Amino acid sequence: MTRPMENCGFATALRAIEGKWKVDILCELGTAARRFGRLRQAIPAISEKMLAQQLRELEADGLVSRTTYPETPPKVVYSLTERGAALNVAAEALCQWGLRYGDDAGQVEARAVASA
């Protein structure tokens, strides 16, 4: 027997962005394709190891593409795929919700921390 949430599109979308830094990475790539170093500069709190890991996961999920140019040293550029761009568009509604109900969302955050 399947649970109701297993086939829920919302749950699928949440699993795609699961991880502390994926939303930040998707937002940055939503403005322009970027090299690894530029992404690292744009998200200063993320470690290089975590950025590399999150990018690999986003690439495996088909949300980010990695293009390597045959130069010395090699040039690698990350960009959103069509699927990743569509997820960013869908996430915009959640961003607007957070802006509108930010004070209430703080209560949700406090409950999540307290129950952890």
Please, what is the Cα angle at 66 between 65 and 72, to 5 degrees? 160
DSSP state of 5: G
Q: pLDDT tens, 35-55?
A: 999 999 999 999 999 999 999
Q: Which residue has the higher pLDDT, 90 or 5?
A: 90
All structural domains of the chain, each given as residue ranges with its CATH number in brackets, are 4-115 (1.10.10.10)
For the chain, percent helix, then strand, then coil, each to nearest 5? 65, 10, 25
Q: pLDDT tens, 56-108?
A: 999 999 999 999 998 888 899 999 999 999 998 888 888 788 778 776 655 65
pLDDT at position 93: 84
Q: Which residue has the higher pLDDT, 111 or 38?
A: 38
pLDDT at position 15: 84
Nearest alpha carbon to residue 29 among 92, 95, 88 = 88
